[in-house]
């Protein structure tokens, strides 16, 4: 996948927030059905650009090789269950972070910044597992209620 330019970040970030907000309006049953169907392959590029993910970060987050992601994009095949669920977690946590920080760009940067309360991991990296996502939610709740993290 090609390098990310600042122009692509500026256009991808609003697209990411639109996707994330749309997912956030769905109930759990609808989200689960959407995850099982598989997220559209174009969402990978949107998330990658919005969060400035390297190939290795993208592969770890989605548990899929870049070549497989590119092939799915070319064939217009949806993401698999694991990748779709992880993108759903990223979207849900990013929306929550935007609510806490009252700013989407601040939330996006926070998602990519190592955090001491998260054992110096980035919130987006913790989206690889539900346990990690719980830790991120707990940290956001502490921030919202004035806790020190």
In a domain, 124, yes or no: yes
Give the domain extent around 121.
6-144
> Pick from 85, 82, 79: which is nearest to 32 by CA?
85
Answer whether residue 88 is part of any domain. Answer: yes
* 4 pLDDT higher than 50: no
Q: Is residue 1 part of a domain?
A: no
Instruction: Write out pLDDT tens, residues 11-35.
Output: 668 999 999 999 999 999 999 999 9
Counted domains in the chain: 1
Is-contact 42 80, C-beta < 8 A?
no
**Where does the pLDDT of residue 146 fall: very low under 50, low under 70, confident under 90, or very high at 90 and above?**
confident
Long-range Cβ contact pairs of 8-15 (< 8 A, separation 24 or more): 8/49, 9/49, 9/50, 9/52, 11/49, 12/45, 12/46, 12/48, 12/49, 12/50, 13/49, 13/50, 13/104, 13/105, 13/108, 15/46, 15/50
Is 51 part of a structural domain of the chain? yes
Copy the structure tokens of residue 83: 């990748």
pLDDT of residue 149: 54
Per-residue model confidence (pLDDT) at position 8:
44
Q: Assign 101 to helix, strand or coil.
A: helix
149 lies in some domain: no
Taking only the tens place, the pLDDT of each residue in 87-128 is: 999 999 999 999 999 999 999 999 999 999 999 999 999 999
Could you tell me the pLDDT band of residue 148, with boundaries at 50, 70 and 90?
A: low
Cα–Cα distances in Å, from 130 out to 4, 45, 79, 99?
28, 23, 18, 20
Average pLDDT over every residue of 60-78:
94
- Indicate the average pLDDT of the chain: 90
């Amino acid at each position: 996948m090609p390098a990310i330019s600042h122009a692509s970040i500026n256009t991808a970030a609003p697209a990411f927030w639109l996707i994330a907000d749309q997912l956030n309006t769905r109930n759990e049953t609808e989200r689960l059905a959407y995850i099982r169907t598989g997220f559209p392959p174009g969402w990978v590029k949107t998330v990658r650009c919005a969060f400035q993910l390297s190939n290795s970060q993208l592969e770890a987050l989605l548990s899929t090789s870049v070549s497989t992601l590119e092939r799915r994009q070319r064939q217009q095949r949806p993401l698999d269950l694991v990748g779709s669920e992880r993108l759903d977690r990223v979207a849900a946590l990013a929306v929550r972070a935007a609510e806490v920080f009252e700013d989407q760009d601040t939330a996006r940067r926070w998602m990519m910044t190592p955090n001491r309360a998260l054992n110096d991991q980035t919130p987006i990296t913790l989206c690889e597992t539900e346990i990690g996502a719980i830790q991120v939610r707990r940290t956001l709740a502490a921030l919202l209620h004035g806790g020190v993290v």
